[in-house]
Each structure stands twice: as structure tokens, then as C-alpha cells.
Amino acid sequence: MAATLFAKNINRLRTPIAWCLLWVLLWGVVFRDTLASVYTVWMNSNTYTHCIFVVPIALYFAYQRRSLVLSLSPKPSYFALIPMLALQGLWLVGFAADIEVFKHASIFGMLSTSVVMFFGWRIAKVLWFPLIFIVFAIPIGEELVPLFQLITADLTVFFLQMSGIAVYRDGLFITIPEGMFEVAEACSGIRFFVACVVMGAIIAYTNYRSVWKRVAFFVFSAMLPIVANGLRAYGTILVAHLVDIKYAHGADHLVYGWGFFAFVVLLLVLFSRLGAQVTHEEPSGGTIAINPRWVNARWYPVAMLAIAPMLISGFLADSAVSNTQQLSIDTLSQPGKTVYVNGKADWCPVFSSPTFEHLGVSTNGVDYYIGGYNANKPGAELISEQNRLFDIEKWRYNGDQMITLPQHGQKTPIRATLLEIGASNGIKRLVLFWYYLPNISSSNSLHIKLSQAFNILLQRGAAGTVIALSVPIETDLEPAKHKLRSFAENHAKQLESMVLFN
């Protein structure tokens, strides 16, 4: 009987279902490369393994609301064409600049927007949680690792000081009388944070009805893994202080594993019972009342409007020219007399497959690096998570600040970033860097990526360069900063003139 009723309902809804399936099919074909990229990230990163379950979970919660959805009158929203076009534009920019997060965010945003466009805001309001939950399918979060490392170090030092343990902190290195510890990238707790936030969203939706309780629990689920990770790092150092440092390393790996994750999840579940409310239940059994508008609505116009932007995006992407310029470097145009280091310098940036690299040191002791790219391809692009301004095997990030470099005779100053890095042996350095395109000089990676994207779409090419300067911090920070800044102000344009855009 139930199967007969289900088949009858599906038959009555065959027209909207057919159009939705056609849209999804074209979505998969046009953005197949982006979907393949998303799947690769899901499978190759432990941080995002949960993402593969997000869409099925969203579909399940949407299916739970089917009776209420079908009882309402669908009213296609042509206003949703505006965000749909914006998402297509975001994908095009991401495609041109190879910004994965733009492409990933746009394709999943299209799924939620298409629901609003096809069925209207009243139905979208009923399905608000599945439509928002789709966001968790976007593999994003690892960009927060440096911030979470600093937060973990802050919390660890705070807990140690509260315990009366003598502690000295130097960036991400924490020293107690028994030894020194480093808050490495693996200690940031980003995996726990992402997983707990996703789980917290599900628990908040299923356990509570009031908005403030849902928001409060979601915020709690985001704060808990951060504090818990600080306690984990503190516990590791406490073991070294109370027992022996050799046991701290073993405890670190044990506590950071499944046991610690299970403990955090248990806390989430226990706290979710505080003030839990019975959620609404969908009626079970019987015939589902289908609003006549589902059968009689004209789906063709809205379907065509939803499909057209995807086809346009695919056409523009296929016709985009990836490169119209070639880079070269003029090694004769150097900032004064130069001694070549030949890769044996104490400091050297690590960039993936550049078109050219040039490393030198000026006569006044300022190391400089120039690396250039002709194109903007995966694995060989100017702005990439793989590229570093220092070797992370030797150096650690201690802080940064934005500075402005006024250029003589130039109206537009250079916005550069000053990094402070340190090694485990106590050596410190300053690194000043910016990116150089034919039409812009800036250290803002997003600005550079967007400029590259528009250069590509306007058929100007994706050629670009990174310029980095570095000096050691011998005794005090300020003299090193003054030396580096003075050299940059006097030689920045000379360094840029070494790069030839043909």
C-alpha cells in the first residue's frame, strides 16, 4: 500500500522532478572538473572526510519535511536569478585564478539557490536547515591553522601560568624547565574543530526548537574543541613537568587520537540534553496531500532561467585564454653589487615549480628572492597553499604586520607584509614580501588572485612574481626592521624592473 501511494505521488510530481534532475545533470556536466577537485580533497584530507556525508544528510532532513513542503504552493522566485548569476561569476573568477575555495563554494551555493529559484521562498523557509547545511560540504577551514596554533599556544601558556609552572614562550615554542615544546600545525586542533562544528549544527537542529537555544548550542560546539585542544596541549606539557618528558610525547599522540575525540563528542552529547526540546514530527502513513500548484505550475520558464547561467559559464570558461604573456628575469639589473647564494642561504622561500627563481644577497647583507610564473596552473601557480615564504621544516611563523612602502616618483605605494620567523635554535629573521603583476604590487594574496583572474578573463595573461627580502634579527627587532624597510624603499622598483613581462 505504501509503495503504491509513493509511486502515485512520484507520478504526479514527474514534471518538476524531471526539470530538477535535468538541472542537476547539467550542473554535474558543466562543473565536473570542480566536482572532481572537491572529491579529491574530501578523500585526501582527513580534515574533510566528513564532507562526503553532508549532501546525503541534507537530503535526509529535506525528506523529513516532505509532507509540509508538498502541502505548500510552489512559487518560483525569479529574484533568485541574481544570486545565481553572482555564484556563476564567483565560479568564473575562481576558474580563471584557480581559487579552489571560490569554485567549491559557488557550486554548492548553486544547489541551495536553485531550490529557492524553482520552488520559492516559502518552501525554502521550511527547508532552511538542509539548504544551509550544504555549506559544510565545502572543504574549507585549514586556512585557520596558523590562527588556531596561536590560540592553542595562548591557552597553553595561560593554563601553565595558572598552575604556577614557570614558562617562557617564543612564538609557537613553549619552554618549561623540563624542556621545550612546539605547537606544530598538527597540534592546531582544526580537525576536531571542523568535525565538532558540523556535529553541533546537527544536534542544535534536532534537539532544539527555539532560535536562541540553537544558536547558543552551535556557538558552544564551536568553542568547546578550541578550549579542549588548549587543555590537551596543556596536559601534554603537564605530564612532562610532573612525570618525565619522554612520557609526554607518547601521551600527546594517544590523547590527540580517537580517545580525545570521543571525549569531546561525549561532552557535546551530554550538554545537548540540557534544555532539549521535542522537535516537530512529520506525519507518518496515509496519503500525502499535494498542493495542486505542484502539478499545474509552469516549470519551463524558471527551468530555462536556471539552466542558462550554467551554460554561459561553461562557454566562457572554455573560451578563456590562460596565458598571453611570458616572464623572464634580467639578472644584470641587480640592486647594487650582488653575491649569489646559489640556494645555500640560511633563508630561502619554497615555491612550487616556478618558471624562474633568483636568490641573492646585497652588499649590505639583505637577502632577496624573486620567483616568477608564466601561467596559473595547479601545482605551478603564484598564490598557492604549497608556496611558503620560508622553509617550514626549519622556521616557524611568529607574527606579521602590514607596512606601506612609499616609492619615489610613484603615486601608488606598495602594500607589503612583514613576517617574523624563528627557528628552534633561537635564530630569528624578518621577511618582507609582496607580489608583482604588470598592473599591481601587493602582498594581499586575495587581491593578487582576483587581479590574475581578471587579467586572464581580459586576455592579459596570468604572469606574476613574488619578491621577498630578509635580514636576521641579531640583537633587537627595531634595527633589523629599519634596515629591511630602508632597503625595500630604495630598491623595490629596481627589483621589480628585473622582471620582464613580454
CA gap 482, 468 in Å, rounded: 16
Distances (CA, A) of 310 to 301, 322, 344: 15, 20, 50
**DSSP one-letter code for 461:** -
Instruction: Work out the burial of residue 283: count CB atoms within 10 Å of its CB; fewer than 13 is exposed, 13-18 middle, 19 or more buried.
Output: exposed
Please name the helix (run of DSSP H) or strand (run of DSSP E) that holds residue 60, with its range, or none: helix 54-64
**What's the pLDDT at 10?**
65
In the block, residue with C-alpha cell 586575495: 446
What are the residues whose beta carbons fall under 8 Å from the beta carbon of 74, sequence distance 6 or more? 16, 118, 119, 120, 123, 291, 293, 294, 297
Do the strands 356-362 and 168-170 form a parallel or antiparallel pair, or are they unpaired? unpaired
CA gap 334, 83 in Å, rounded: 49
In the block, residue with C-alpha cell 525528506: 63
Q: What is the 3-state secondary structure (H, E, C) of 64-109?
A: HCHHHHHHCCCCCCHHHHHHHHHHHHHHHHHHHHCCHHHHHHHHHH
Long-range contacts of 399-408 (CB under 8 A, 24+ apart): 399/171, 402/443, 403/432, 403/485, 405/434, 405/485, 405/488, 405/489, 405/492, 406/489, 407/489, 407/492, 407/493
Quick one: which of 429, 304, 451, 323 has its CA closest to 383? 451
**What's the pLDDT at 333?**
47
**What's the pLDDT at 112?**
94
CB 236 within 8 A of CB 252: yes
Per-residue pLDDT tens over the stretch 116-162: 999 999 999 999 999 999 999 999 887 788 888 889 889 988 998 88
Query: In the structure grid, which three cell numbers stand for residue 31, read together?
Result: 562543473
**What's the pLDDT at 115?**
94
**What's the pLDDT at 492?**
79
* pLDDT < 70 stretches in the chain: 1-10, 244-261, 275-288, 319-345, 407-411, 500-502
Query: Which residues on neighbouring strands pair with residue 472, listed in sequence order?
Result: 429
**DSSP one-letter code for 164:** T
**DSSP one-letter code for 63:** H
- Would you mind telling me the total number of residues written for the chain in this entry? 502
What are the residues whose beta carbons fall under 8 Å from the beta carbon of 255, sequence distance 6 or more? 232, 235, 236
**Within 13 Å, how many C-alpha atoms sit on residue 324's CB side?**
12
**What's the pLDDT at 345?**
64
What are the residues whose beta carbons fall under 8 Å from the beta carbon of 4, sequence distance 6 or more? none
CA gap 346, 333 in Å, rounded: 24
Per-residue pLDDT tens over the stretch 161-197: 888 888 888 778 888 887 888 787 777 788 888 888 9
**What's the pLDDT at 339?**
44
CA gap 255, 233 in Å, rounded: 9
**What's the pLDDT at 110?**
95
